Amino acid sequence: MGAGIFVLTGLAIQATGRSVILAVVCAVIFMVLANFFSILLASMFKLTGGDYSQKALLFNPLMTGLTGYLNFIFACSIAMYAIAIVQYGSMIFPQIKVYDKWIEIAIISFFFLTTIRGSKFMSQVNNVMTIILMGALGLFICFGLPEIDYSHYFTNEPFFKHGFTGFISAVALMSFACQGITQGPISVATVTRDSLRTIPKAMGLVALALAFFYGFITLVASGVLPTHDVAGKNLSLVAQAIFPHWVFVAFVLAGAVFAIATSLMSMITMVRYPILKVAQDGWLPGVFSKTTQEGYPYVIYGVYYLIAICPILFNLSLDVLVSAIMIPLMLMNVYLNIACLKMIKDYPRRWQQSILHMPKPCIYLISALATAASAVVCYQLFVGLTSFQKILMVVVSLALYIFAYVRIKAGHVDLSKLEAERQEILIDLDETIG
């Protein structure tokens, strides 16, 4: 739970009106399906590398390279978070709107500088902010629910304001806020007791909790004020209507800003080692592998920083940034949700022992739904782009594909090393069977 609910709820209301509460529940279901491959593999294998190890089992070398490059595209979310912090902050300090770009760049710069202190320091700060933001969201629900006129909630303003297309657009947007359903549990699988059973169950419980909590938040966000007032706006407008002024100020500064800051900080932290590994495997020029004596990857973070501030300099909107992040992710999941079925065939004993074991027609049906969910989110976000943005996204994707192909053909990527690492994972699996 983080920045997505603070940043995107207003855009989802703009797309579908008060049916946003249904959209967020559907978004949870879509993300469970879109990441089905992850849940399936978690029920069969205890992988020390979590999500990375799962994808290493399913991808060929070229796809592995493309996955690594996508980490740089995810830098767009950092710009989105900085923009959102300024939007919320301007509700308390309206004078900062004049300097919004400079402040957004300063925020990104500050958090990149904190990475020099190391992951432990950032984790400690992140934990404190997370506890505070949970309290702020709880207050938003408790203060907001009594302010809703339930007798007119379903009659005053129509559900599905812009029809089916608007509803699916809202689902696609809110999917960004629901990505943590699988990523969090998978990352701790290696230190979880009886992980083959615990992790899939945890993912299901996380999904239920998220649907319940986000459902109440969107109910308040769309039910207290007319939807035309809150459409395209962030949660601060509703918070201002339901809170006493001092609570409103606390909600914005300690809730919204902290929620967005935790996501921003996490995004910067989590790419450090994956991108360094991408560089070390030869997918990037050797200069990207350079670090300080303490191991700080200054070249990688320098390039990542420049990419992060580009959306601010070019005035990209929040929905476009979400599309830039989610479209390649969902395209990748289309492939993964089909490829994961091969693991059932290759490891029948593992599949037989899986908590998800079911007749093959059922698992094939779920895989088909998972592939469709990924494709729907991807398509809906893509058609919402302008012609120029569509062309740009296709060009960037092709460029990354060509770059990965060239790196392989030029011999910069040691394919035998990649295969050896994959075999090491498979050996680890064999050793843990039984």
Query: Is the pLDDT at 203 greater than 60, yes or no?
Result: yes
What integer best gives the mean pLDDT of the chain?
82
Query: Is the pLDDT at 50 greater than 70, yes or no?
Result: no
**CA-to-CA dists, residue 421 to 65, 282, 391, 425, angstroms:** 14, 14, 36, 6
What mean pLDDT is predicted for residues 63-84? Answer: 81
Highest mean pLDDT among 100-104, 109-113, 383-387, 425-429: 100-104
Q: What six digits make up the tokens of 393?
A: 């996204």
Phi/psi of residue 289, nearest 5 degrees = -85, -5
Q: Which of 119-128, 174-183, 306-315 has the lowest mean pLDDT?
A: 119-128
Residue predicted with more confidence, 125 or 314: 314
Q: How confident is the model at residue 433 (pLDDT cuts 50, 70, 90)?
A: very low
Check: CB of residue 337 under 8 Å from CB of residue 374: yes
Check: CB of residue 284 under 8 Å from CB of residue 65: no
Q: What would the DSSP string read from start to end of 203-234?
A: HHHHHHHHHHHHHHHHHHHHHSS-HHHHTT--
**CA-to-CA dists, residue 198 to 55, 248, 275, 307, 363, angstroms:** 20, 39, 29, 38, 20
Check: CB of residue 291 under 8 Å from CB of residue 130: no
Query: Is the pLDDT at 106 greater than 90, yes or no?
Result: yes
Q: Which of 99-113, 203-217, 252-266 has the lowest mean pLDDT?
A: 252-266
- What is the reported pTM? 0.76
Query: Is the pLDDT at 252 greater than 80, yes or no?
Result: yes
Residue in 97, 67, 431 with CA at minimum distance from that of residue 277: 67
Give the pLDDT confidence of 132-175 residue by residue, as tens digits.
Answer: 777 878 888 889 999 888 777 777 677 888 888 889 889 888 88
Q: Which of 124-133, 157-166, 263-272 has the lowest mean pLDDT?
A: 124-133
Query: Is the pLDDT at 225 greater than 80, yes or no?
Result: yes
pLDDT at position 25: 92
Share of the chain above pLDDT 90, in %: 7
Distance CA 354, CA 357 (A): 5
> Residue 159 pairs with which residues in a beta bridge?
17
pLDDT at position 103: 92
Q: Which of 3-17, 125-139, 211-225 has the lowest mean pLDDT?
A: 125-139
pLDDT at position 102: 92
Computed from CA positions of residues 194, 199, 200, 201, in that sequence, does the dihedral angle turn out positive or negative? Answer: positive
Residues 6+ apart with CB under 8 A from 172: 27, 326, 376, 377, 380, 381, 384
Distance CA 226, CA 147 (A): 12
Check: CB of residue 91 under 8 Å from CB of residue 6: no
Residue in 265, 405, 318 with CA at minimum distance from that of residue 87: 318
Give the pLDDT confidence of 321-355 residue by residue, as tens digits.
Answer: 777 778 888 888 898 899 888 888 888 888 888 88
**CA-to-CA dists, residue 65 to 262, 371, 391, angstroms:** 28, 22, 22
pLDDT at position 184: 64
pLDDT at position 431: 46
**CA-to-CA dists, residue 277 to 7, 271, 274, 419, 429, angstroms:** 31, 10, 5, 15, 22
3-state secondary structure 297-365: CHHHHHHHHHHHHHHHHCCCCHHHHHHHHHHHHHHHHHHHHHHCHHHHHHCHHHHHHCCCCCCHHHHHH
pLDDT at position 434: 43
